[in-house]
A = this chain, B = another copy of it.
Amino acid sequence: MVTMQDVAERAGVTKQTVSNVLSGRVAVRPATAARVRAAIEELGYTPNLVARSLATGSTRTVGLFVPTVGGSFYAELIEEVEDVLEEHGYHLLLCTTRLDGERARRHLASLTSRSVDALLIAGDRDLIDHLPLLAGAAFPVVLCAWETEVPDRFPVVTIDYERAGYLAGRHLRELGHRRVAVLASPAHTVRIEGFRRAFAADGISVPDDAVHLAPEPTLAGGVAAATAALAADPAVTAVFATHDILALGALEAARTAGRRVPADLSVIGHDDNPEVRLARPALTSIALPRREMARQAVELLLRAVTKTGSAANSLQLLRPELVVRDSTAPAPGA
């Protein structure tokens, strides 16, 4: 292993001069710099980043927690995070929590030991209980894609999920739907609130028994919830699914129930996931600015790394957008 000392000896200078040439922070006479560079070249020297990290206290690495890498939501998030980090010369240390709080805790503990300069936590599912562990963290932490109650103390960059639900509701209301059902994952209460607000403007309420929970966000779960919804109230003319995959289940349930989408039944999803683009009719959905969110979160994080101490507790909400396709239409009677 060739070290800076080796380069220095070969170039006839001290280690410090080699360091100066590399960092460029201190002036070095051109002739000397050339000698040093030649020595580096000849010996094939590459600086030891670990040693540098120890001396500077910065690893130029950022940790990212995600619940999973499957599914386009987190996949896009990861890619965007990596892009931004790369632009700034940082590395990405990835930890998936996999619905396993204990695993999350272990990962958290080991990252705390100064192996990362900052931490981005996406998705609240598994880590929420262990956030207090981070209270004394020596590095900045930012949360993103956070839907449930936000623990103060950390800045958050997330999506206005309430508005996402509202957009879905407003769309259906404007199409004349009055009797609607909701298929929801248990954690999506905020989206439902927004959905209700849209109807409340017209004095219409969405009763609790119109909300059908799907324990898992799967096609089968969507089918089951939708079937239950249609059975519970055959008069519904529209369904809002808080997750695209549940919406697909609704499409299938409608088909087997003999109801045509969108003529008899409108279906609107949430997330605008690319992997459901293949479904027919094409799904109307709520698109989320995932990449934008990821970018802003990372940039906030990196700003906090450089200006240590700043980055007060803040909340940044990004706006979702309605994407109208073929699965929604005016209510039959309207």
Where the two chains meet, the residues of A that have a C-beta atom closer than 8 Å to any C-beta of B are 1, 44, 46-51, 53-54, 59, 61, 68-72, 75-76, 78-79, 82, 86, 91-96, 98, 103, 106-107, 109-110, 112-115, 136, 138, 219, 248, 275-279
Contact = CB atoms under 8 A, between A and B. Distances in A.
A92 B95 contact: yes
A138 B1 CA distance: 8
B50 A54 contact: yes
Scoring A53, A61, A95, A276 by chain B CB atoms within 10 A of each residue's CB, the highest score goes to: A53
Contacts of A46: 109, 112-114
A82 B95 contact: yes
B79 A94 contact: no
A71 to B, nearest CB: 8
B1 A115 contact: no
B93 A92 contact: yes
Contact of A110 (B49, B50, B76, B79): B49
Contacts of A112: 46
24 contacts: A49-B114, A50-B50, A50-B53, A50-B59, A50-B115, A61-B93, A68-B75, A69-B69, A70-B72, A70-B76, A71-B75, A78-B94, A82-B95, A82-B96, A86-B107, A91-B93, A91-B95, A92-B94, A93-B93, A93-B94, A219-B277, A219-B278, A248-B278, A276-B278
Given A93-B92, A279-B278, A48 B78 contact: no
Given A44-B136, A113-B46, A115-B50, A82 B94 contact: yes
Scoring A1, A51, A82, A91 by chain B CB atoms within 10 A of each residue's CB, the highest score goes to: A91
Contacts of A69: 69, 75, 78-79
Contacts of A68: 75, 79
Given A69-B78, A78-B69, A82-B95, A113 B278 contact: no
A72 B72 CA distance: 9
Contacts of A276: 278
A48 B94 contact: no
A109 B138 CA distance: 29
A68 B78 CA distance: 10
A257 B275 CA distance: 25
A201 B110 CA distance: 56
A85 to B, nearest CB: 10
Contacts of A51: 54
A75 to B, nearest CB: 4
A145 B81 CA distance: 24
Contacts of A61: 93, 115
A136 B53 CA distance: 23
Contacts of A219: 277-278
